[in-house]
Structure 1
Amino acid sequence: MSATDTSGPPAYPFGPVVRLDLHPRYLELCRNEPVARVRLPYGGDAWLVTGYHEIKQFLADTRFSSFAATAPDTARVTPLPLRPGNLLSMDPPDHGRIRKVVAHAFRPRIVSQLADRMRDLVTSELDAMEAAGPPGDLVQRLAIPLPVRMIVELFGVPYEDRAQFRKFSDVFVATSAHTKEEIDEARDGLEAFLRRLIKQRRDSRSDDLISVLIEALDDGRLSEVEAVRTGIGILMAGHETSLSMISNVSFLLLAQRELYERLCADPSLLDPAIEEMLRVIPLRSVGSFPRRASEDVEIGGVRVSKGDTVIFQRAAGDRDERVFEDPDTIRFDREHNPHLGFGHGQHYCLGASLARAELKVALEGITSRFPTLRLAVPPEEVPWKPGLIARAPEALPVTW
């Protein structure tokens, strides 16, 4: 059946991704049909969940299996399903077992220690940008180096090896930008990289994530496949999503420059502003990784049959009028903001505290250092990365 065939569910995605715009169809569905049937580009039909309460119910219900969604026939928005062995593709009890192992690396003490190094790095990068003179590029100067440096430190990857995993990362998270053969090759490359790193670090362990994985591998709590693929999942999520979010937040503030001016004038707004931007920015260009129902389940009054695939669009739920007053308006003084930016349930983001810290340090740096910062081109001329799971500017030219 062709994508233009109107006899079945509507084709998804609903249209091209445009900057940080959320396609209006999402909000129509959230309001009128929060659990709706759609046709995905790979694997056939699925349920798309857009309502806030329905998304929370879906994420908390263990009858929706992430592991089952690794099957090749799963409806999905990516050319290939996730491979088994990744935290994102696990169900209880395996998910809880492995999450307990890796949570050690995200302890508050570790994140607090990283915060000082974040500030030093932001200062040095902004020093270099200022010295070079305008225009500068906030993607190259801030959005990439900060999360990449932090994840390699947290993980224990030698900083000089960062290019080895960076060359695979955009391919790994592609929807339409690369072929399934290229994505498979990137996955193989990352697995080989992690296996080499584990081998190299067996006799030189420290208080980092690779050492935690090696210890769990040696005492039988993890298999080699679990150690490698869990490591890849954290390595990817730990820098790709953060660099995309730093880029997106910077773009949003400078495209609506009155928001940037408010933060410069009142730094006390920074924490609630970050939560509001986490709510309103649709980080994913398309819906979530899929899960499949292990039995018949009802969500929001809709019967989802055993074997059905379900995806959700978090950004639609975070603009649900039933939960958020005036949801389309960016309000830094929003008091009630239970957004789903880091998920919900067993797969709640392990690195949420690290991501928040990176955003805060980055924004503190640019607002205090460059109160006159502005885009060097009109917002519509900022180039964006095409065909990836996470949306983000390719470059963010600024002047001051």
Structure 2
Amino acid sequence: MSGRQTEARTADGPQPLMPDRAPRPLPVDRTSPVDPPAEFRCLRAELPVAPLVFPDGPPGWLVTRYDDVRAALADPRFSSRRPHLNSHVRASLITPAEMAALRPSDLLTSDPPEHTRLRRLISGQFTSRRMNLLAGRIQTIVDQHLDALAAAPRPADLMPTVALPVPSLVISELLGVPFTDRDLYQRLTGELLSLDRTRDQLLAAKAEMKSYLLRLIGIRRVEPDDDLLSGLLQAQRADATLSDDEIAALAQLVLIAGHETTANVIGLAVLLLLRPPRLWDTVRQRPELVDGVVEETLRYATVLQFGLLRVAREPLTIAGQSIAAGERVVLHLPAANRDPVRFTDPDHFDVQRPDAARHLSFGHGPHHCVGDQLARIEVRTVLATMLSRFPDLRLATGPDEVPTHTHRVVHGPARLLVDFTP
């Protein structure tokens, strides 16, 4: 359901439509593959902390302005601990006890000091030095998949040919997950990120993913390698409190976030460059703009489409609105990244935007994404190489006809058909 509005009337006649203050469900309906729901413009301008209906439980709050979202992401008075990540868009299908058994606290659902301990284990694997050392391998992987694109029947679907397999292979090698298992973990990722699955389907997918990762942990314990799983097992020898279940939960987060989000950013970046006014040609002639394309895509077409959920630890105030202890608050990243107070002409895709990198797509504060450098390198490498190899790449459908993931946490093209001269 969209945000409701009321028309204010004064002696001077009708005034602009204003949102009423009745709790409303989260706006989710898009009119464009690259734009968030239009209701966020009104909410951000007139009701930046709006009463929000949750599918289960009492109402909470929706925060849409950049400064408020950024401050809340770093505010220790908000907790990330909650039994269900997406309860603002889907009723909780799993009890807290079931969730604890299937997935102990991980980086998404923990607070300091537990979060600090877990993050330290992961962040050591994502240093700038290690990411830069990976650059050569990433280039090789990109070249191989662009060879496959060049040989594919046309029109070709960029998503399964390039956008999805490139980050999947990179994260597989980094984590220590066999790429030959990609059909399994990509299927399970789709199940876990979909919001239209039944309780039984969700439970089955969670159990299968955990079982799969625990089996890999057992293999790596006997046959260690230079990968993240082996590194976590080495850390376990020095920290007996680090359980196999925790390692599996950390590995699941890295595996899903490491390929699903990056794949969709790649697809959206190509779509944005190929739609009118066809910036593909501009950036091809000025390759120094590729970094700007990456950052502007992250800002303009934020893939975490439903925002981040937090719970107030204590009474607090956001933009003059009182939030009670225990109330749920959704920090809406796509709305914040289109805030005109922070970004000039935010609904314009500008590859030369000087402050695009100030976006919140990787979060902010203690939960800032540890894989942001890796994602940037992957997207940059794919785009730079495609621009060079496929100068006349073009969409095989209208830009507004590109189907997107409407029932998944991560937004992006479900298919992206492209054509080119071989």
* Superposition TM-score tier, normalisation by shorter sequence: over 0.9
How far 1:11 moved relative to its partner?
2.0
The residue aligned with 1:272 is 292
In the alignment, does 2:190 pair up with 1:170? Answer: yes
In the alignment, does 2:366 pair up with 1:346? Answer: yes
The 5-angstrom pairing of residues 45-84 of structure 1 reads 45-67=59-81, 69-70=82-83, 75-80=87-92, 83-84=103-104
The 5-angstrom pairing of residues 107-186 of structure 1 reads 107-176=127-196, 178-186=197-205
Percent identity among equivalent residues? 35
In the alignment, does 2:57 pair up with 1:37? Answer: no
State the alpha-carbon separation in 1 of the partners of residues 385 and 177 from structure 2.
26
State the alpha-carbon separation in 2 of the partners of residues 55 and 251 from structure 1.
27
State the alpha-carbon separation in 2 of the partners of residues 31 and 56 from structure 1.
17
How far 1:75 moved relative to its partner?
4.6
Q: Which amino acid aligns with 1:209?
A: L
State the alpha-carbon separation in 2 of the partners of residues 390 and 46 from structure 1.
22
What SS class does the counterpart of residue 252 from structure 1 fall into?
helix
The residue aligned with 1:365 is 385
1:313 is aligned, of 313, 329, 332, to 332
1:281 is aligned, of 280, 288, 301, to 301
Query: Does structure 2 conserve the Cα–Cα contact (< 8 Å) formed by 1:48 and 1:311?
Result: yes
How far 1:122 moved relative to its partner?
1.5
Q: Which amino acid aligns with 2:270?
A: S
2:27 is aligned, of 13, 18, 31, to 13
Distance of aligned partners of 1:339 and 1:386 in 2 relative to their CA distance in 1, 3 Å threshold: closer
Q: Which amino acid aligns with 1:188?
A: A
State the alpha-carbon separation in 1 of the partners of residues 290 and 317 from structure 2.
39
Query: Does structure 1 conserve the Cα–Cα contact (< 8 Å) formed by 2:30 and 2:38?
Result: no
The residue aligned with 2:211 is 192
Render the CA deviation track for 1:322-381: whole Å, top value 9, x for unaligned. Answer: 211111112222222311121100000000000000100110111101110001122233
The residue aligned with 2:40 is 26
Distance of aligned partners of 1:175 and 1:43 in 2 relative to their CA distance in 1, 3 Å threshold: farther
In the alignment, does 2:226 pair up with 1:213? Answer: no
How far 1:60 moved relative to its partner?
0.6
TM-score by length of 1: 0.93
State the alpha-carbon separation in 1 of the partners of residues 108 and 166 from structure 2.
24
The residue aligned with 1:260 is 280
State the alpha-carbon separation in 1 of the partners of residues 277 and 58 from structure 2.
42
Of structures 1 and 2, the one scoring higher in RCO (CA 8 A, sep 6+) is 1
How far 1:216 moved relative to its partner?
2.5
How far 1:79 moved relative to its partner?
4.1
Query: Does structure 1 conserve the Cα–Cα contact (< 8 Å) formed by 2:27 and 2:39?
Result: no
Q: Which amino acid aligns with 2:225?
A: S
The residue aligned with 2:350 is 331
Distance of aligned partners of 1:322 and 1:7 in 2 relative to their CA distance in 1, 3 Å threshold: closer
How far 1:100 moved relative to its partner?
0.4
Bigger shift: 252-261 or 92-101? 252-261
Bigger shift: 137-146 or 214-223? 214-223
How far 1:110 moved relative to its partner?
2.0
The residue aligned with 1:389 is 409
Query: Does structure 2 conserve the Cα–Cα contact (< 8 Å) formed by 1:297 and 1:305?
Result: yes
State the alpha-carbon separation in 2 of the partners of residues 84 and 32 from structure 1.
39
TM-score by length of 2: 0.88
Render the CA deviation track for 1:248-272: whole Å, top value 9, x for unaligned. Answer: 1112222235221211111011112
Bigger shift: 246-255 or 343-352? 246-255
Distance of aligned partners of 1:352 and 1:259 in 2 relative to their CA distance in 1, 3 Å threshold: same
State the alpha-carbon separation in 1 of the partners of residues 317 and 224 from structure 2.
48
In the alignment, does 2:312 pair up with 1:293? Answer: yes
What SS class does the counterpart of residue 87 from structure 1 fall into?
coil
State the alpha-carbon separation in 2 of the partners of residues 123 and 336 from structure 1.
31
Query: Does structure 1 conserve the Cα–Cα contact (< 8 Å) formed by 2:304 and 2:361?
Result: no
State the alpha-carbon separation in 2 of the partners of residues 39 and 25 from structure 1.
15
State the alpha-carbon separation in 1 of the partners of residues 335 and 292 from structure 2.
20
Q: Which amino acid aligns with 2:64?
A: T
The residue aligned with 1:88 is 108
Unaligned runs of 5+ in 1: none
Distance of aligned partners of 1:293 and 1:391 in 2 relative to their CA distance in 1, 3 Å threshold: same
State the alpha-carbon separation in 1 of the partners of residues 299 and 28 from structure 2.
21
Q: Which amino acid aligns with 1:117?
A: R
Bigger shift: 248-257 or 115-124? 248-257
The number of equivalent residue pairs is 393
Q: Which amino acid aligns with 1:173?
A: L
How far 1:206 moved relative to its partner?
2.4
